[in-house]
Structure 1
Amino acid sequence: MVVDRKTLQYFLAAALLFGGTFVAAKAGLSYFPPLLFVALRFDIAAIILVGYVVATRSRRELMPTTRGDLVGIIATGVFAIGAANALLFVGQQYTTTAVGAIIASLNPVLTPVFAAVLLADERVSPRVVAGLLLGLVGVGLVVGFDPTGVESIGYGKLIIFAGAALGALGTVLIRWGEGSLSSTVRTAWGLPFAAALTHGFSWATGEQVADITVVPVALLILVYLGVFAGAIAYIAYFGLIDEVGAVRANLVFYVTPIVATLGGWALLSESISASALLGFVVIFAGFAVLGSDSIDIGDVLPSFDKSDAGESHAWGLNDEARGFESD
């Protein structure tokens, strides 16, 4: 396998920073109300990412010019980033970092369901069905599904699952809009919408700034989520897409639950059940089956070649990032 240094740096940065999101979110919920927490994270990330694209893109590249661009911006800000992360932070109060990360990483498994409904050129092949079924079985193992009732699963896990579903819907709506903006610029436009949405949710649920416990560790967590797991992680992830294409870049999301699991164990003294570990393996198998529907796995592993960056990918999403927004 030949992997150049830049590609490896992008991959490691995105995997570690996105994986650390779940650990930081769990730890930070001791100091912040959940919705205000994610809103402040978006405030910081928006300032940095907007500054980055203004400094590195031309005016023509920055400006939305079509209806599809506007659809993409709204889908990114409202669904793929805003609502998905709001539900993640709310649900993370009631489960461990490892389980939260595994459920949230289901975005690529859920995406073809929405794509088959909303995109006219999509089909659900037998291989996609098999991947979806494997993913659902894995989720059942992770959440400890018991047919006797919803209470056996836990509302926190259901909330995170709903966030993953909205994230998947958002990515398909982006593709449906067929905008011309790059994913980096579109995310920079979408982040202020996500911040406004989550501030609105926070206000509507009665959260107040006075509810924040202002201590150094809380500020460090917020800076990590806004600067490192927010703006810098997005920049690294989009850079990875430019280097290797979206399918290979999405291997990141096979790694983030592992990072979250190890981080929760090392920093928060969390444990994970054997059934949850087995569930992660089954979900991973579902990812592999879904990915192999559009690419030969032998073509993915041997080399990371820049010539792949413009290829057309699975489920009609082309080079759109599938899943990154919910991290």
Structure 2
Amino acid sequence: MTRRSPGEDEDTVSEGRALLAMGALALMWGSSFFWIKIGLNAFSPTQLVLVRLVLGAAVLMALCLAQRHRLPAGRRLWAHLAVAALFHNAVPFLLFAIGEQTVNSGVTGVLNATTPLWALAVALVWGLERRPGRAQLGGLLLGFAGVLLIFAPWSATGLVSWGALAILAASASYGFVMVYEGRFLADAGASPIALAGAQMLTASGFLLLVMPVAGTTPIRLEPGALAAVAVLGVFSTGIAFALNYRLIAAQGAVATSTVGYLLPVVSVLLGTLLLDEALSPRVVAGMVVVLVGVALSRRRPAPVAVPAAAEPHAPAR
């Protein structure tokens, strides 16, 4: 019998914990569309998003206090945070809530899976992604072909509607802001949790500005819907963001990003099993095509080997 070393045992335990954490993150983020659907029974979209952001910000700020993280400083940094708060929180959260008034939560999760495709498209347009490989371009085209299959504008049963377009716009907003944050906030020199907390506080301020216009609908005191929004804000927003940053620090951004493949699966299962949402074979096929496209779009072309004789000489120091 082969004996395992203590180091191997520790690696196995840490890997197991990472897998559990990734599963928990997939469940919290994937279930957010389920909670939104239930929460809309009590709140208007604007009210729901404001409560979600305030609760999420409260969780993150409490973690900042407990871990003694300082809020970021500097006008330029806060300007970038304002852009991130608008396009990572306020706008997409609101668009998802508006869209789910008419679109199933499972379909919402499927359309949200297009976020990496939008991010790649934005990076290409912005000139930040140089020399994309054939797999990336093929994945981009395949992913958007999957979206077209889901929408099916040629069919009477297609999903072309303002609600579905709002959800797709929310995913595009995520894609844009992922590239923006990578360029302007990745090396901000502040704690990621502090950045996220400041970002959500700013997004809450944006929603407060909208409340007098779009948030005056009376709230229905339905216990299930109130509990759903509480779970959405505390777990699917605040704790999920904090857990995501911990996983990135422990496992790396690439490994953590694989959680994205599980989100549509979680949202579809919850919607089908608990909300009796029906998914047509066309939508399921579109989801598969989108996920394959996303997987291909994340492949990086192999680096071209440079012969030793052709390598440039290092400059004299």
Fold match, TM over 0.5? yes
1:153 to 2:160 alignment: yes
Q: How has the CA–CA distance of structure 1 residues 58 and 154 changed in structure 2, closer, same or farther, with 3 Å as cutoff?
A: closer
Q: Following the alignment from structure 1 to structure 2, what is the Cα–Cα distance between the partners of residues 219 and 147?
A: 37
Q: Following the alignment from structure 1 to structure 2, what is the Cα–Cα distance between the partners of residues 185 and 34?
A: 27
Q: Which of 142, 156, 165 in structure 1 is aligned with 2:150?
A: 142
CA shift for structure 1 position 66: 7.2
Q: Following the alignment from structure 2 to structure 1, what is the Cα–Cα distance between the partners of residues 162 and 61?
A: 35
CA shift for structure 1 position 201: 2.8
Q: Following the alignment from structure 1 to structure 2, what is the Cα–Cα distance between the partners of residues 217 and 147?
A: 36
Partner residue, 1:310: none
Partner residue, 1:192: 201
CA shift for structure 1 position 147: 8.6
Q: Following the alignment from structure 1 to structure 2, what is the Cα–Cα distance between the partners of residues 122 and 197?
A: 35
CA shift for structure 1 position 95: 0.7
Q: Following the alignment from structure 2 to structure 1, what is the Cα–Cα distance between the partners of residues 132 and 213?
A: 39
1:279 to 2:290 alignment: no
| Deviation larger for 220-229 or 287-296 | 287-296
| Residues 118-142 of structure 1: per-residue CA shift (max 9 Å, x gap) | 3556444433221111110111122
Q: Which of 203, 207, 232 in structure 2 is aligned with 1:225?
A: 232
Name structure 2 gaps, 5 residues minimum: 1-10, 304-317
1:203 to 2:212 alignment: yes
CA shift for structure 1 position 6: 2.1
Q: Following the alignment from structure 1 to structure 2, what is the Cα–Cα distance between the partners of residues 74 and 87?
A: 18
Structure 1 vs Structure 2 CA RMSD: 2.4
TM (norm. structure 1) is 0.82
Q: Following the alignment from structure 1 to structure 2, what is the Cα–Cα distance between the partners of residues 175 and 123?
A: 19
Report the number of matched residues. Answer: 290
Q: Secondary structure at the match of 1:188?
A: helix
Q: How has the CA–CA distance of structure 1 residues 22 and 121 changed in structure 2, closer, same or farther, with 3 Å as cutoff?
A: closer
Answer whether contact 1:76 1:187 (CA < 8 A) is retained. Answer: no
1:259 to 2:266 alignment: yes
Partner residue, 2:248: 241
Answer whether contact 2:106 2:264 (CA < 8 A) is retained. Answer: yes
TM (norm. structure 2) is 0.84
Give, as a single letter, the amino acid of the residue that structure 1 aligns with 2:103.
Answer: T
Partner residue, 2:114: 106
Larger radius of gyration: 2
Map 1:1-327 onto structure 2 (within 5 A): 4-59=15-70, 62-65=71-74, 67=76, 69-120=77-128, 122-146=130-154, 153-178=160-185, 179-205=188-214, 207-208=215-216, 211-293=218-300
Q: Following the alignment from structure 1 to structure 2, what is the Cα–Cα distance between the partners of residues 9 and 278?
A: 29
Q: Secondary structure at the match of 1:93?
A: coil
Q: How has the CA–CA distance of structure 1 residues 177 and 35 changed in structure 2, closer, same or farther, with 3 Å as cutoff?
A: same
Q: Following the alignment from structure 1 to structure 2, what is the Cα–Cα distance between the partners of residues 48 and 37?
A: 17
Q: Following the alignment from structure 1 to structure 2, what is the Cα–Cα distance between the partners of residues 234 and 165?
A: 19
Give, as a single letter, the amino acid of the residue that structure 2 aligns with 1:84.
Answer: P
